[in-house]
Amino acid sequence: MHTEVFSELFPLINTANPQTLEWLLSVAVEHEYPAGRAVLMEDAWGNAVYLIVSGWVKVRRTIGEDSIALAILGRGDFFGEMAILDESPRSTDVIALSAVKLLSISREKFIHILFKDPQLHHRMLQLMVRRLRHANVRLHMRSSPPAVKLVQTLVSLGDSYSEESDEGRKIFNIPFKDLADVAEIGVEETTKIMEKLNEKGWIKIDTVNQVVYLVNLCQMINLASKV
């Protein structure tokens, strides 16, 4: 991977200087996981930060015998940063939803380069603050109708990870249970709303290729804004 592609793919590092980019590429380790494989397990000590080259993962927390998806991440995003910064065991699992390719950078190397490149350090703080803002939006939406919460989740995934296609913005066909968890609504409600959105032509669910097309994004954004 060239440094230009590396920089464009990952917002985390797109403000880093060229020397930092070259060094990060030289120390990064490549990983590939099939769908369903655990990438990181809860309570494992944080020893690396991970960058998603392709594919989709879910961040989940296990409570007793049940697990809850807390977030869905896709191409260009990163995870594992909290455990390496506070030197504590991870509080969540990360599971591959699809085949996924990752780059990992060890804790020691990542902390080293954060101190050497202030632009990278600042950028990481910006992205962590953005995640806090997204968490605040979810808290604010807890009293919203289920359809608004689910559509807002789809719009957010589309904004962050979708790809252009002739059918509309394309995202992974995320299991309804995981969508329900992230939107904080029931699975039955999620199923009914997704079917209704599909019938109305706002989305198109392609189960063969495991993708969802956000066809009428303008209407979805309008509904998602009714918080």
Please choose, from the candidates 120, 97, 83, the residue with its C-alpha nearest in 3D space to the C-alpha of residue 39.
97
Contact 108, 51 (CB under 8 A): no
24, HSE (Cβ side, Cα atoms, 13 Å): 33
- Let me know whether 133 and 159 are in one domain: no
- 49 is written with which tokens? 């930060």
- Let me know whether 119 and 184 are in one domain: no
- Let me know whether 127 and 200 are in one domain: no
- Let me know whether 92 and 154 are in one domain: no
Please choose, from the candidates 123, 111, 121, 59, the residue with its C-alpha nearest in 3D space to the C-alpha of residue 86.
111
- 144 is written with which tokens? 């919203």
- Let me know whether 172 and 115 are in one domain: no
pLDDT attached to residue 199: 96
What total number of domains does the chain contain?
2
Please choose, from the candidates 51, 60, 55, 36, the residue with its C-alpha nearest in 3D space to the C-alpha of residue 211.
55
Q: Which of 97, 119, 139 is the last residue of a domain?
A: 139
- Let me know whether 26 and 108 are in one domain: yes
pLDDT attached to residue 90: 65
Residue with tokens 């807890």: 142
pLDDT attached to residue 87: 65
- Let me know whether 94 and 203 are in one domain: no
Does the pLDDT of residue 227 top 60, yes or no? no
Average pLDDT over residues 68-79: 95
Q: Which of 79, 110, 139 is the last residue of a domain?
A: 139
Q: Is the pTM of this model over 0.75?
A: yes
- Let me know whether 19 and 70 are in one domain: yes
- 5 is written with which tokens? 């592609």
- 47-62 pLDDT, tens digit per residue, is 889 999 999 999 998 8
